[in-house]
């Protein structure tokens, strides 16, 4: 049985930890509001871009740009895994990595060549254990200030299109956690190249009208597609950031509550041990007095 001093030290240690988790919870809650607003504000633009892409690609047919039609092969796949730079966020990073591992495993089982790009330190650390030989590049987001991911998204998008033009891969898939609400972040896999509008993307009802594009649909798509890819990457970064802070806030709230429960149990154990020691001392005093 631990001594009173040991119990007192443990209570003090847990209280210090509780202060840290409470502070981290408050910081995450403050950052979540800004990240959630940014992610929500970016959604209409990303959805409209997807809608325009869906309509233009339908009009362009098979003669569209390479970013839309692809290379004609799907042998080499580039998997881009986006996670957070930090942990202490429950299963946020692990769920995304789990989907990435399943995707990579399925592709390898089909005989495909897989290359890997990680965005965020936690994903790189977990994937390096099993797939270090597949790594092509890593993107560090630790230098991003104020939640402005615009430059990082542009850099990733530009590097992606350059690698595709150089023939380094045939299909690019982005895996990230999509923010639903404070308690729900869903890992998703989105194909970026060849660019494909989401199945639920809205299309414009032409009502039988015929539109003539100037310049042609292919020329418009050649300019639009790189911007579409950059937009999807930026939207994914904002969704991932909001999901991370939501997960961290929830995890730190649970940790704070658990620390409080542990303090209560240790305090009860301390009081019982102290009462037992006092009772023992009283019995010794009374026994000594009676012996006289």
Residues in Cβ contact with 156 at an 8 Å cutoff, skipping those fewer than 6 apart: 80, 119, 139, 233
Rounded CA gap, 289 and 73, in Å? 97
Mean pLDDT of the region 214-224: 67
Query: What token pair was written down for 253?
Result: 């709230």
pLDDT at 186: 87
Q: Phi and psi at residue 202, in whole multiples of 5°?
A: -70, 140
- Residue 1 scores a pLDDT above 70: no
Q: Where are the domains of the chain?
A: 21-251
pLDDT at 202: 57
Mean pLDDT of the region 53-63: 62
- Residue 233 scores a pLDDT above 80: yes
143-157 pLDDT, tens digit per residue, is 777 777 888 888 888
pLDDT at 99: 92
Q: Phi and psi at residue 216, in whole multiples of 5°?
A: -70, 165
- Residue 49 scores a pLDDT above 80: no
Residues in Cβ contact with 121 at an 8 Å cutoff, skipping those fewer than 6 apart: 83, 84, 85, 86, 140, 142
Rounded CA gap, 220 and 214, in Å? 8
pLDDT at 205: 57
Query: What token pair was written down for 167?
Result: 């023939």
pLDDT at 278: 81
Mean pLDDT of the region 280-289: 76
Higher pLDDT, 182 or 178: 178
- Residue 2 scores a pLDDT above 80: no
Q: CA separation (Å) from 76 to 110, 169, 265?
A: 11, 5, 56
Mean pLDDT of the region 59-78: 73
pLDDT at 150: 82
Q: CA separation (Å) from 238 to 114, 153, 226?
A: 26, 10, 19
The CATH code of the domain at 21-251 is 3.40.1380.10
Rounded CA gap, 78 and 113, in Å? 9
- Residue 231 scores a pLDDT above 60: yes
Mean pLDDT of the region 241-260: 89
Most confident of 62-71, 181-190, 276-285: 181-190
92-144 pLDDT, tens digit per residue, is 888 999 999 999 999 999 898 888 989 888 888 888 888 888 888 888 888 77
pLDDT at 175: 92
């Amino acid at each position: 049985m631990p001594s009173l001093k040991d119990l007192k030290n443990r209570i003090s240690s847990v209280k210090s930890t509780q202060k840290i988790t409470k502070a981290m919870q408050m910081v995450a809650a403050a950052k979540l509001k800004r990240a959630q607003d940014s992610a929500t504000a970016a959604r209409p633009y990303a959805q409209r871009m997807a809608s325009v892409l869906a309509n233009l690609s339908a009009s362009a047919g098979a003669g569209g740009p390479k970013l839309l039609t692809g290379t004609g092969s799907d042998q080499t796949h580039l998997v881009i895994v986006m996670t957070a730079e930090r942990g202490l966020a429950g299963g946020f990073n692990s769920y995304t990595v789990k989907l990435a591992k399943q995707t990579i495993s399925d592709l390898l089982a089909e005989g495909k060549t897989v290359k890997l790009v990680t965005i965020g330190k936690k994903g790189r650390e977990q994937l390096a254990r099993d797939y270090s030989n597949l790594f092509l590049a890593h993107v560090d987001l630790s230098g991003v200030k104020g939640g402005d991911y615009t430059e990082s998204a542009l850099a990733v998008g530009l590097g992606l299109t350059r690698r595709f033009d150089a023939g380094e891969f045939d299909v690019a898939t982005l895996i990230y956690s999509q923010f639903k609400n404070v308690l729900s972040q869903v890992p998703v896999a989105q194909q970026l190249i060849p660019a494909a509008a989401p199945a639920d993307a809205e299309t414009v009802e032409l009502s039988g009208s015929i539109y003539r594009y100037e310049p042609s649909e292919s020329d418009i798509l050649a300019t639009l597609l790189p911007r579409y890819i950059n937009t999807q990457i930026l939207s994914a970064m904002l969704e991932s950031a909001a999901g991370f802070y939501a997960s961290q806030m929830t995890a730190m709230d649970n940790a704070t509550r658990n620390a409080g429960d542990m303090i209560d149990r240790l305090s009860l154990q301390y009081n019982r041990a102290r009462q037992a020691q006092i009772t023992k001392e009283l019995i010794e005093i009374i026994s000594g007095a009676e012996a006289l």
